[in-house]
Amino acid sequence: MRGKSVLLIIGGGIAAYKSLELVRRLAERGVTTRAILTKAGAEFVTPLSVSAFTGEKIYSDLFSLTDEAQMGHIQLSRSADLVVVAPATADLMAKMANGLAGDLASTALLATDKPVLMAPAMNVRMWQSASVRRNRETLAKDGVLFVGPGNGEMACGEYGPGRMAEPLEIVAAIEQTLAVQGPLAGLRALVTAGPTREPVDPVRFLANHSSGKQGYAIADALARAGAETTLISGPVSLAAPQGVKLQRVTTAREMLAACEAALPADVLVMAAAVADWRPDFAANSKIKKSTDRVVPLIKLVENPDILATLSAHAARPKLVVGFAAETDDVVANAVAKRGRKGADWIIANDVSGDVMGGDRNRVHLVSEAGVEDWPEMTKNEVGARLAARIAQKLKGAA
């Protein structure tokens, strides 16, 4: 979301205090926020507080000659990428649903040509009233998006639906809404992540140290950029990124089958650390230690080469990106792997340290054009940079 801007309309309700946390969370993600503070909203949070968090002038008066000259309500309503109403009171919902424009907030809502996301907050009986329900249905038909409300205890002491969504929930909804406008909107992405486990018996398996962090970060970045993203993950403890379809698998053969079932896709990023071999036979019960201390012989057979298979698939994605986790001759091995596997790009990294479990990575992008050496950065930053390069390749986006 970095570089995006939001117009936040703060309605009059006790939940208005959450708007300050919302602004802070958006700022962490590089989003600029301008705010309209309604007269009722100013009864709960002060203009000074909102201005301190946004770092911007606060707008509240429709008939301010200065504001209208510098940033009129038409420009204010259209200069942002998204309009967010939090809290969205019954009054603001009613005004927008019925086209009323008697103050700056309602006028901006009527004049905007950008998506509108509302986070309703009101007493449970108000939320369940026929008029509010009717207004919400009208707004939904008009294309207004909603996040929440949730169930919870109200400031008035009642319990039920009407509690405004928490700031991070609203941030997630904003991210999902803005993704529709992203540089990869309309494209499908398939990502693999994590290790695979090859069973020896019901309690033992062959695997590796992959944490899945880099693959999950890439899937997250692609989804944020607007791609419809499917993530095929080996066994890790990470939660699915917002807006990503997650399918969990265990073995290399399961991963290949899941990838083939997920095709077609426009871009494939194979970040999983797939086991090259598996036991040719997995015992149905635990293999016991023998009394004569004879070590059981485990014969290994080669697993399917998922990257090579999908690179040559009839439904091959337009862009196939593989990973090369190396401990020696990192770039040279990656260059050889790109040609051998038939991939368009290979992302090479040195995993001789704590890279597999850590939060930082230093990679090299190997392509037909040559080698790009990226500086060390967080895995989230690697994901964002890779998503930007993919957008540049597939859509010509800067």
- Residue 2, pLDDT score: 67
Q: How many helices (H) and strands (E) does the chain have?
A: 14, 22
Higher-confidence residue of 219 and 180: namely 219
Q: Is the pLDDT of residue 340 over 60?
A: yes
Rounded Cα–Cα distance for residues 276 and 303 (Å): 5
Q: Is the pLDDT of residue 398 over 50?
A: no
pLDDT digits (tens, 9 = 90+) for 270-281: 999 999 999 999
What are the sequence ranges of the domains in the chain?
5-179, 188-395
**Mean pLDDT across the chain, nearest whole number?**
90
Q: Please tell me the CATH code under which domain 5-179 is placed.
A: 3.40.50.1950
Least-confidence region, from 131-140, 282-291, 297-306: 282-291
Residue of 377, 364, 293, 285 whose CA lies nearest to 332: 364
Contact (Cβ atoms closer than 8 angstroms) between residue 255 and residue 231: no
Model confidence at 144, in pLDDT bands (50, 70, 90)?
very high
Its pTM stands at 0.65
Contact (Cβ atoms closer than 8 angstroms) between residue 139 and residue 96: yes
Burial class (CB in 10 A: 0-12, 13-18, 19+), 153: exposed
Q: Is the pLDDT of residue 68 over 70?
A: no
Structurally, at CATH architecture level, domain 188-395 sits in 3-Layer(aba) Sandwich (3.40)
- Residue 355, pLDDT score: 64
- Given this chain, do its domains 5-179 and 188-395 carry the same CATH topology? yes
Model confidence at 264, in pLDDT bands (50, 70, 90)?
very high
Model confidence at 145, in pLDDT bands (50, 70, 90)?
very high
Q: Would residue 259 show up in a list of annotated catalytic residues for this protein?
A: no
Model confidence at 66, in pLDDT bands (50, 70, 90)?
low
Q: What is the CA radius of gyration of the chain?
A: 26
- Residue 207, pLDDT score: 94
Active-site residue (options: 156, 180, 203, 300)? 156
171-187: average pLDDT: 85
Q: Is the pLDDT of residue 50 over 50?
A: yes
